[in-house]
Amino acid sequence: MKIKSVRAWLQNLALRKPYTIAHLVCSEVENVFLEIELENGIIGIGAANPAPEVVGETPEQCLKNCQSEAFQRLTGCDIHNFRRLIAEIHQQFPHAPGTLAALDIALHDACAQLMGIPLVALYGQKITSLPTSVTIGIMDVADTIAEATDFFQQGFRILKVKTGMQVDEDIERVLKLHERFGRQVRLRIDANQGYDPASLHTFLSATQHLNLELIEQPLPVGQENALLAFDPEIRKILVADESLKSADSARKLAAAPQPFGIFNIKLMKCGGIAGAMHIADIAKQTGIQLFWGCNDESIISITAALHAAFACPHTRYLDLDGSFDLAEDLVSGGFHLDKGYLSLAGGKGLGCNARKK
């Protein structure tokens, strides 16, 4: 079955409310959408929201790439060769993971629809349901407790707390959360590269009794070796996020001694499902657990990440809450959310239902 047309556009999606992380305040997000239509009318859809501060690609650059002649030359190609098409586009845009992710997701969706199977079935489903964390941005203690209480009342039992600006305030917020919820919730920390080794040690010492589930990217990219000074048991709960962008970086981080015991795979960093599965294979071979994260993304790419996550037996953690923050989206469906647990909605391909653009 041949590809009939390729269409891409940029759409600004408003957030329900702004939030703060260590380096910026976000109130809206731009997502690039890509449709691949087959000769029989099947439409595969992909989406991307690359983070320029992490991967060096903006949504505008992503759109330009997706509207380029290289993408138009996909017309007439056989969808069954989607893996080769992904590899060819990767060669032309080697440093544009958002561009590759949009194409990768759309091609996977179209091919799985054509085969009449869920996307996850292309790789073999290993997991059916896991809980996701929800994210609390950087805010004062009172607002932190209020937002956590709201999430708790919605049924979520895993909270990811953004930190990395003032370690003393970070410690206070985390301690107050534990005081309020105790063992009723699990706490994850995302420092967004905001600590140095001394402040990380301070944070760990003050929170060691809380049994924190994990800590994402505590030190800036390039300082991974400084983590080797910490106890191996501590490193097991440290998560590579911004340091992990590709299979090449995965191989370096997986070599002993390992600075991180967990890999945070984001489709927007590694160029989609194909790139994610390469990283997942490296992690499996070296005993590293998988954590699947996201940016503020459409249900389309969140669902794609969930399909990939559930195809990997060593997936342990989900942080796929990016579409929860959107006040609008172009699709519905894709996954079910029940008391904090995510499961796939079923159906062909991604299983998403298009809304009017």
Q: Which residue has the tokens 């983590």?
A: 227
Comparing CA positions, the residue from 308, 307, 326, 306 lying closest to residue 318 is: 306
pLDDT of residue 25: 65
pLDDT of residue 29: 83
Count the residues in the chain.
357
pLDDT of residue 21: 55
List, for residues 81-120, the tens digit of each pLDDT value.
999 999 999 999 999 999 999 999 999 999 999 999 999 9
Comparing CA positions, the residue from 36, 47, 44 lying closest to residue 5 is: 36
Residue 23 has pLDDT above 60, yes or no: no
Residue 205 has pLDDT above 80, yes or no: yes
In which residue ranges of the chain is CATH 3.30.390.10 found? 3-116
In which residue ranges of the chain is CATH 3.20.20.120 found? 121-354
- Report the C-alpha gap between 162 and 188 in whole angstroms: 9
Phi and psi at 196, nearest 5°, equal -105, 175
List, for residues 261-319, the tens digit of each pLDDT value.
999 999 999 999 999 999 999 999 999 999 999 998 999 999 999 999 999 999 999 99
- Give the tokens for residue 98: 């958002």
**Fold of the domain built from segment(s) 3-116:** Enolase-like; domain 1 (3.30.390)
Furthest-apart CA atoms within the chain: distance in Å: 61
Q: What pTM was computed for the model?
A: 0.95
Q: Is 43 exposed, middle or buried (0-12, 13-18, 19+ CB in 10 A)?
A: middle
Query: Taking a C-beta distance cutoff of 8 angstroms, is the pair 289, 283 a contact?
Result: yes
Comparing CA positions, the residue from 287, 291, 279, 221 lying closest to residue 258 is: 287
3-state secondary structure of 308: helix
What does the DSSP 8-state code read for residue 217? -
**CATH top-level class for 121-354?**
alpha beta
